[in-house]
Amino acid sequence: METSRADLSGILHLSALGIYMHAVTVAIVIGFSVTLTIIELLGIWKKDTDLIKLAKQISLVIVIAFVFGAATGTLVEFGLIQVWNGVILAIGSFFFTPLYLELAAFTIEAALLVALLYTWDKFKNPWTHWTITFTYTLGALLSGALITSVNSWMQAPWGTGEIVRQIYPWAPVYGPTLVNTDFLLAVKEALVKTSVSLIGSGASLVNPEIIDTLVDSYGELLKDPWVSIINPYALTSVIHQLLATTIVGVFWIAGTLAYNGLRKREKRDYYLKLFKTVSLIGAILLIIQGIEGHEQGLMVYLYQPTKFAMISGLEKSGPYLPAGLTIFGDPNYVFKGFDYLIQAVENHPNPDLKIAGIPIKEIALRDTLNALEKLPIVKTLYEFKIGLAAIAIIISLMIISSFVFKRLWTGKEKILLYSGLAMFFIAPVMAGLGWAVREIGRKPWTVYGLLYPEELVTPNPIGVEVAITIIGGIIVGLIINLTTIYVVLRKPPKFLRIGEE
């Protein structure tokens, strides 16, 4: 029972596909919730029935996406746990608190979603309903924030102090040492041993006997269960990811309204009004994201040296204008490239240290070179993303200007609608590329500087039939989700019709 390198690559692609497909649902649930909250607020405030009607339609779409999200989420979750068994060790330690809190956030989300759907037009004071909507949205955002903090710990393993630096001399210090160093190093030792033995996957080692032995010898693995939440990388990532997800959702609504405005000439004014309101939300969020992107970049610079070198294309050390200007105010600031990282490894301060008999210098050099291999793909993806972001910012400024310079845009509304339609596609591609940079840039590790995918994968072989089942299921689920949304919006079934005027 061993997973080959080719299998591993396939499994990684399978997982990426699953996460991307699930992300569509997440974008709808989170992005639409924020839009719903703002649109309902504006509708009540301005007493605008068009906005209230739009809010009701959005709430219907959220319900459908949530139902499918809960079902396909189970699928993705089981798929992940079955395929990446080794992650269970992290679920029981570093991820315990965010995932456990997620149970509460998920229940709040589910309960308040039914509440907001059921209580449309049921309260005399419409602000009561809005309060439910607002609280539901907080639940959805909290849910997204907690999951992002889990991913962020894999990007920057906060609380591991100097452990990563002991292996990779170019690595930073990940906060105070809140993890049991002996325990973690013993796990790493065992995992490296399995990777060169016949057992294959390290997942087989996450068993009661080994855990008991380690706990008896060293004590608990983790001293602070809140470690992945207090991670500074997580704090920035949460804002960045939630903004990205929300922007996608907002522009999907705006794009749909723009499409209807272009197609139905007789109702263009109606759709244009709604489009402008929704797209203004997206435009403002996009500009905030541009500013926040700097913070995210700073975190990558501080905590992921290989990813920073990949993004900036620094095979050799040198200036990288955007980062030089924004971080140090100096366009000629020289950043460390892969040449520096490799040199740092070659001058390893602890060349005699070994893990499972393998010199850490050898491990560090191999991994740094593996990271360098990803530079072309990550740099290309990042540049493509930045190019799209520039277009998106221009479109956002156009949208904002249509509120400031109303006369200028009179008679040119179709340009705005076409731009909105373009954003329907640009926003998700941008977010998707951003996620790809985040994930591929982390390689060759699953947990940056600590664990590799092959140490966490299931010892069972993943056959084509399993892959097809999971991929097929996820794709079919997504198609059903989108078809249901389409059918429901075209002709709302009686039992889903809420507060019709």
Partner 1 sequence: MDLTLPITVLGTILLIHLTFVNINIGLGFYSFILRWRSITNIEVVKPARKVFKFLVASEVVSGVYGTMITVALAGFWPTLVNIATIILFIPLIISIIGIITRLTSIAAYWYTWDKVQPKIHLSIGLIMALSGLAIPAGFRYIFAFIDNPVGLASLNPISGNIVEALMNPIYPPLLLHTWFGALSIGFLAAAAGLAWSSRKDKTIEKWSGYASLLGGLMIIPQGLTGFWFWSTLSFHSAYLFYSINISFLPTGHSLTNVSYTFLGMVLLAIAILTLGIIYYYQPSRKWIAYLLAPAAVASLILGEITHDIGRLPYMVILGETGIPMETFINKLLIIEPTLILSVIVTIIFFTIIFIALLYLYLVKGILEE
Q: How far is the CB of 478 from partner 1 (least distance, A)?
A: 11
The amino acid at 25: T
User: What part of residues 185-214 is at the interface with partner 1 (CB under 8 A)?
Assistant: 194, 199, 203-212
Shortest distance in whole angstroms from residue 357 CB to partner 1: 19
With CB under 8 A as the contact rule, the residue among 75, 298, 327, 377 that binds partner 1 is 75
The dihedral over CA atoms of 232, 235, 236, 239, expressed in degrees to the nearest 10, equals 180
Nearer to partner 1 by C-beta: 406 or 494? 494
Shortest CB 435 distance to partner 1, Å? 21
**187/417 with CB nearer partner 1:** 187
Q: How far is the CB of 252 from partner 1 (least distance, A)?
A: 21
Q: What residues numbered 78-117 form the site for partner 1, per CB under 8 A?
A: 78-79, 81-82, 85, 88-89, 91-93, 96-97, 99-104, 106-108, 110-112, 114-115, 117
User: 290 or 459, CB closer to partner 1?
Assistant: 459
464 binds partner 1 (CB under 8 A): no
Out of 30, 58, 154, 221, name the contact with partner 1 by CB under 8 A: 221
Site string for partner 1, 294-333 (x = CB under 8 A): ----------------------------------------
Reduced DSSP (H G I as helix, E B as strand, rest coil) percent helix, strand, coil of the chain, to 5: 75, 5, 20
Task: Provide, rounded to whole angstroms, the least separation between the CB of residue 406 and partner 1.
Answer: 43
The angle at the Cα of 312, spanning 310 to 317, to the nearest 5 degrees, equals: 90
Q: Does 118 bind partner 1 (CB under 8 A)?
A: yes
Give the nearer residue to partner 1 in terms of CB position, either 103 or 173: 103
Any idea what the Cα angle at residue 380 is, between residues 379 and 381, rounded to 5°? 95
Provide the mask over 431-460, with x wherever binding to partner 1 is found by CB under 8 A and - wherever it is not: ---------------------------xxx
Binding residue (CB under 8 A) for partner 1 from 173, 215, 353, 408: 215
Q: Give the integer Cα–Cα distance in Å for 256 and 264.
A: 12
Residues making up the chain, counted from first to last: 501
Q: Give the CA distances from residue 440 to residues 155, 177, 319, 381, in Å, rounded to whole numbers and listed in that order.
A: 11, 27, 23, 10
* Site for partner 1, residues 375 to 394, rule: CB under 8 A: none
Interatomic CA distance for residues 308 and 327, integer angstroms: 13
Stretch that binds partner 1, among 50-58, 353-361, 424-432, 466-474 (CB under 8 A): 466-474
- CB distance 501 to 43 below 8 Å: no
Contact mark string toward partner 1, 2..31, x via CB under 8 A: ------------------------------
Size of site (CB under 8 A) for partner 1:
73
Ranges within 224-253 binding partner 1 (CB under 8 A): 225
- Any long-range contacts for 372-378 (C-beta under 8 Å, 24+ apart)? 372/306, 372/315, 372/338, 372/342, 374/310, 374/440, 374/441, 374/443, 374/444, 375/309, 375/310, 375/313, 375/315, 375/338, 377/440, 378/307, 378/310, 378/311, 378/437, 378/440, 378/441
Minimum gap (Å) between residue 126 Cβ and partner 1: 19
Alpha-carbon distance of 447 to 360, in angstroms, equals 17
How many other β-carbons are positioned within 10 Å of the β-carbon of residue 472? Answer: 10
- 220 versus 373: smaller Cβ distance to partner 1: 220
* Residues 165, 192: Cα–Cα separation, whole Å: 17
* Closest CA relative to residue 158, chosen from 303, 312, 349, 351: 303
Sole residue written with tokens 């590790």: 445
User: Binding residue for partner 1 (CB under 8 A) from 41, 484, 492, 499?
Assistant: 484
Among 250, 311, 470, 485, binds partner 1 (CB under 8 A): 470
- Which residues partner with 318 through β-bridges? 335
Under the binding rule (CB under 8 A), the answer on residue 486 touching partner 1 is no
Contact pick of 77, 121, 330, 373 for partner 1 (by CB under 8 A): 77
Q: Are 232 and 299 in contact (CB under 8 A)?
A: yes
Q: Which is nearer to partner 1, 108 or 342 (CB)?
A: 108
